[in-house]
Amino acid sequence: MVTFRVNGIKFAEEININLMEKIMEIKALTFPNYGTVETHLADEYVSNFYKLIEEAKEKPHSMNNILAGNISSSIELNMKSKFATNFVKNVIPSMVTSYVKQYGFPIKHITKHIQDNSITLEELWVNFQRKHEFNPIHDHNGMLSFVIWLSIPTSSKKQNELPFSKNSGSKGLISNFSFVYTDILGNIKNYVYQMEKDIEGYMVMFPSRLMHQVFPFYESEKERITISGNVGISTKQVVTKKLATGDNKVSDYAS
In CATH, what number does 37-253 get?
Answer: 2.60.120.620
Proportion of the chain above pLDDT 70, given as a percent: 78
Q: What is the pLDDT of residue 113?
A: 47
Which residues lie below 8 Å from residue 187, measured CB to CB, with a gap of 6+? Answer: none
Using pLDDT thresholds of 50, 70 and 90, give the confidence band for residue 21.
low
Mean pLDDT of the chain: 84
Using pLDDT thresholds of 50, 70 and 90, give the confidence band for residue 19.
low
The pTM is what? Answer: 0.81
Proportion of the chain above pLDDT 90, given as a percent: 63
Task: Write down the domain spans for the chain.
Answer: 37-253
Using pLDDT thresholds of 50, 70 and 90, give the confidence band for residue 237.
very low
Q: What amino acid occupies position 208? A: S
Q: What is the pLDDT of residues 31-75, one digit of tens each?
A: 989 999 999 999 999 999 999 999 999 999 999 988 888 998 999
Using pLDDT thresholds of 50, 70 and 90, give the confidence band for residue 14.
low
Q: What is the pLDDT of residue 167?
A: 83
Q: What is the pLDDT of residues 129-167, one digit of tens each?
A: 999 999 999 999 989 999 999 999 999 999 999 988 888
Q: 193 pairs with which residues across the strands?
A: 177
Q: What is the pLDDT of residue 50?
A: 97
